[in-house]
Amino acid sequence: MVNRSIANETEFDSTDFRLPTIAEILKLPEVRRGRPTIEAARDFIDRPVRWVHVSELADIGHLLLGGELVLTTGVALPSGDDGLVRYINDLAAAQSTGVVIELGRRFTTLPPALIKSAIAQNLPLIALHVEVPFVAITEAIHSMIVNAQVRQLQLGEAVHRVFRSLAVEASSPQDIVHQVAQLAGCPAVFENSAHHALVFDGSTTDGTHFLDNWEQRSREASSTGETILIDGEIWFATPVGARGQMWGRLVLLPEFPTKPLQETILELGATNLALHLLIERDEQLLEHQTHRTLITDIIERNYTSPDEIHTRAKSLGMLTRRQTLVAMIVRSERDVLLSDIALHASARDEVTAVSRALTDCSVNGLVGLLEPGRLGVVISTSTPTQMRNTLDVIARAIHDRTSKLNPSSFTAIGVGSSVNSIDDLRQSFAEADEAAGAAGSLPGNHLFVTTADIRLRGLIHLLRDDPRLQSYAERELGPLVAYDERHHTDLLTTLAAYLEAGGNKSAAAVALFMNRATFYHRLSRIEEVLNCELESPESRYSLYVALVVHHSFQKRSPGDRPFPSR
């Protein structure tokens, strides 16, 4: 977290450092002594004054840099209307803020041509009706300008210190965006490339109304980094990225046009976000690679002794010596096919999600990507009892995290036996892999599956690629499947209900909401088609196994997932 003493010193009012406007200058005692009146462009006196220039030259325009307030007695101004119009046009072309003319030496009242030209150019024109030393006016105005510039430099340095502190302390994106909003004095939003608001802070405003319809508004805003006005709303954005990879944009929503210090705050905020994301990505990538190598070496017994694994695991913050250890396999399945690039990117996200799930549970563990869609995990606890109490919590956290990555996919978790030695972890991984592989065929919802849960359905699922198993199911049920297709019946469902009821005809009829006579008639027809006696236990066992095999090859509906969605 950023040092709050540094952050507090940068809390400011934008009026502390902005340049004075003509309206503010007119309130100075030194100016008020001249009894000023606004003769033209009253609506434009809120323009900032960068400097004050005293000159009696009629062709002063080419000497100005822009933002100057010109003071003159008018003694050298042209006498003709054309010359006066040219004088005003030259000042406007030089982006002068305005012109102040002292009456008495040349004019008693300002010429109409001068006023009309100033109105046409939106150039504020002020008349001083009483003589005032110009040096007193310039000193007063320059004092305001210099003080504002000094204050701006001080605030700029304080802002840099805040962001240096954020970088050194590896602050989170939320901390960074919070400081950006506080320092800029307006809401700040960090969005991804899909225009989703990832992190936001509107602590300078009430509520989060600035996020309303965010995606649509963001898509309308350009990403050029310039100040953008959309339906009266000011957007100021800058990209957040590094090493050729863009993560999104940092956006400010100021009430007024962006000021230079706000631009600095925006750029520093974007740099800090990019640095944080870059470090986080590289650190996680390196950590995940290290975990994967260690898990692979455990599975393949690629180590000289258990002590080597103990040492390597300890260097990663995990104790394995004299601990209860359990291997887990986390499998994910999707309803859509992904490209190789998208698949590997998704796999990295899954590793991160599972790692964070362990962190959520305050559990020590290793998480490594064995292949896309298949993660290896090692959990360590002090006692077997603690392990038993922890597995449910960990599995639920993994489901919570992974379900957020892709709601249309589901996750299966296989858990191996608890072991006390590194050498036995290989067998625990084999059991976990077998359980995870069979999980999709098991009925009901399971947070995780062990080999004890597999039983007949899981065994058949594991053997599903054996052609002999497929031939067996075809021999047993083929005639009945063909009969249903030919006569548009559903005798297969009747047979399944009968077998699931353990041969209890009455219970099966009730389960199908069917009267007994109809049900008995269908059973007779099944016996005719299959040429068997359903009263025979061997026939029922054989047909039940064939049904499980048959169902394992049917396409699973997306709604029939074996694990609870979160």
Q: Which CATH number characterizes residue 355's domain?
A: 3.30.70.270
319 with 449, same domain: the answer is yes
Alpha-carbon distance of 367 to 360, in angstroms, equals: 14
What angle do the packed helices 112-120 and 81-93 form, to 10 degrees?
A: 30
End-of-domain residue from the set 105, 128, 145: 145
223 with 332, same domain: the answer is no
327 with 433, same domain: the answer is yes
Does 298 have pLDDT greater than 60?
A: yes
Two structure tokens written together for 472: 């067996």
For the ranges 151-160, 400-409, 440-449, the one whose mean pLDDT is highest = 400-409
Alpha-carbon distance of 164 to 161, in angstroms, equals: 5
pLDDT in tens, 394-421: 999 998 888 887 766 778 898 999 999 9
Q: Which CATH number covers residue 92?
A: 3.40.1390.20
Does 5 have pLDDT greater than 50?
A: no
Q: Which of 45-59, 146-160, 293-307, 383-397 has the lowest mean pLDDT?
A: 146-160
Q: Check residue 12 and report its DSSP letter.
A: -
**Helix/strand/coil percent split, the chain, to 5:** 50, 15, 30
Give residue 536's domain range: 467-552
Written as one letter, the residue type at 293 is: T
Number of domains in the chain: 4
pLDDT in tens, 10-57: 444 444 456 788 998 899 998 999 899 999 999 999 888 888 889 888
Two structure tokens written together for 344: 């590997």
315 with 224, same domain: the answer is no
- Of 385, 336, 340, 347, the closest CA to residue 369 belongs to 347
494: confidence class by pLDDT, cuts 50, 70, 90: confident
End-of-domain residue from the set 405, 420, 454: 454
Domain assignment present for 79: yes
444 with 356, same domain: the answer is yes
Give the C-alpha distances (Å, rounded to integers) separating 413 from 215, 343, 497: 35, 19, 30
End-of-domain residue from the set 112, 145, 178: 145
Does 123 have pLDDT greater than 90?
A: yes
Q: Which CATH number covers residue 511?
A: 1.10.10.2840
125 with 175, same domain: the answer is no
Q: What is the pLDDT of residue 47?
A: 86
Domain assignment present for 158: no
90 with 186, same domain: the answer is no
